[in-house]
Structure formats: structure tokens, C-alpha cells
Structure 1
Amino acid sequence: MRKIDDSKLLEMIEDGKSQKDCAAFFNVSEPAITKRLKKLRACVLPESVKRLTGKEQRFVLALTQGRTQTAAAMEAFDVTSRDSAKTIGCRLAKEPEIKAAITDLLSMKGASPEWVAERFKHWGDSMDPQASLRAVENVAKLHDLFPASKNMNLNIDTVTLVKVDLSEYENPEPITINQNENFDGPQEEE
């Protein structure tokens, strides 16, 4: 039997008890409380993720672990072909609820958009600047901070057609031009 009751521990922490008080209550060491809290907090998903279906949650978790949209869709959904997975992954990644869940999960893991921006400012702190920059680029792509292109769907419900009379612009006589002459436009008759 476990010495630490998880629900009681979380309740005590929410009530403002210190980890030292919790350790004394459960008769364990402070590091044991710290380790248990770390493990419990790792399992907590943001609300934006909890609102998704089970398959969508698996898709989002796979994406935040570094998989491609296609690979994440293959893991999360029962697809018959790679093309199906590609279509599903592309469609899901564009949904605002999925984007919000991805952003929340990355922020929870410490890779918020602010962190990425700060990282761009100090990307030279690595011994290998190219590797450091590439890693930050991948995180930025996950946050859609600099997409290759933005697409917008435009639906037009009504179209009004107007009939325009172009007869006054018609020329009943064809204009012929000799190749040897310069054409300066229509000449007015005197």
C-alpha cells in the first residue's frame, strides 16, 4: 500500500500547506513528496486537451512529442492508408481547438511562444549554433509562429450580376494597319 494518498496530497497543496508539512503528515521525506508531486503534475492535462475526443487527444500528444502530422494521425486514428492519415492530420492541425491544445501542452512543458521568442534572441548560447537554431525553429513551427503560407477560405453567399451595355465601345469598321506605317491611334477626320 502506498504511503502517500495522491488526492489528499493535492488537496493539502491546494490549501497552501508546505511540502514539509505534507511530508510530516504522511510520515515520509520531503524528497518523496517532491517526486510524487512532480509525477502527479506531469499527468495533469490542460482543459483545452480534456475537451477533445480521445483520438484527438492522442493526436495532439503525438504532435507535441515531435511526430509529424501524418505519423500522429496514424497513431491516433484507424487509417487504411498513409494518404488518409495525411489528410486527417492536415485537417486536424488546422482546427482552432487542436491548435489551442498544442499551444497549451507546449506551454505546460516550458516551450511557450514567449520562450521561443526569447530563445531566438539568445540562440547563440549553444556550442553548436546551427543545432540550437534548428531546435528552436522546430518549436516555432509547432506554435505556427512563422508558417510558410497562410491560407484563407472565402465563401461568397450572394453574387449580384449587373448587365452593362458595351455597344458604344464597339467599332463597326475594322481598323487595318500597313506594316510600313506607324500607328498613332485613331485619326480624326477633317
Structure 2
Amino acid sequence: MTFTPKSLCVFCGSKNGNDPEFVKEAQKLGKMMADQGVELVYGGGSIGIMGVIAEEVLAHGGRVTGVIPEFLQKFEVGHQNLNELIITESMHDRKRTMFERSDGFIVLPGGLGTMDETFEIMTWKQLRLHDKPIIVLDTKNYWQPFHQLVEATIAGDFAHEAVRDLYCLVKTAEDVFHSFKDLPNTREEVFTSHL
């Protein structure tokens, strides 16, 4: 199945991490999104990789929508120069809004919040609440432990092997857009094997 997104939600860190490649790949992805007319939907922050990708999309004439809960906005970490900034009452509302505004999801390096968002959106897909693509950008093998944990759930018979198709693991920003040309269909067993 070929996929042409109008908007993509990017889950990523509010820190830059300890390897400059994390920032470089985020910048490449941001430029590619702007060049292809794909709107960025993200957590609304001005710091870390969140701020990096937002600035890159804006610098190349792209559209950016940020979604941030009110309590984080009070810490003045919200980006003030976006096309649209949506302030929500809670983290749950934030995730729901990002989901509703996006055609698919890209995961960049990040911390616990990024992991939370990634597992939740994968679980929603497993439960057939959506069939949007989830692409994990594994810069410098950052997401290998995540991938190994998913494999461990399969090996331990807590998940069907078809959960591998819930997401696509890629190595570069260029690979993100190439992966849209051949996305696997989600098999029914990812849901029914638990019933």
C-alpha cells in the first residue's frame, strides 16, 4: 500500500541527546517534510529535538502545528512562532489531538514521554482503533532496545508475530519517505490472538 501524507505527527525528545546525529536527522526530516508539503504536528515545544524539527520545517516554508498541555505552557517551553499552537487541558488530550490531526506517526530519539506516545499509538493500532503508519527513525541504533523489547514480547508469547508490522524501523530521514511506498497491512491476528 502506498501512502501520501498531508500531515505527520512526530514524537521526539525535549532534549537534544548526546549525539549530534540525532539533531542532524531531525533537521533532514524537517526539511523533507517542508519540501514535500507535509504539515508537522508535534508536542509544541521550543526545546530539544522538538524545537529543532519545528524550526527546520518553518525555515523551509512548511506548516507546523504544536499541541501542548497548559501546565507545560506555563513553564514557557511552548514554541511561540508556529502556524498554530493548540493548548490542551491534559497530556491525554494532547495525545488525542495529535492523533486526530495526523495521517501518520514518526518516532525520533526521545525519552520516557516519547516512549509513552509510541507504545500508546502502537497499542491503538493493535486494537484496530486506527491503521495509520508508524515509522521509527532508528538514528545511530537508538531504538534497538525498543525493537528488542517488542521481539521479547513475541518470544515470550505475549504478542503475535504480526505485531512486527505495527511499525516500520528505518535508519535515515530519507528512508522515512521511502517506507511509505511499501507499508505492510496490519494483520487481523495482532488483535484476535489476544481474544
**Both proteins in one fold, TM over 0.5:** no
Tell me: higher relative CO, structure 1 or 2? Use CA pairs within 8 A at least 6 residues apart: 2
More strand by share: 2
State the structure with more CA Rg. 1
More helix by share: 1
* TM-score, with structure 1 as normaliser: 0.26
* TM-score, with structure 2 as normaliser: 0.25
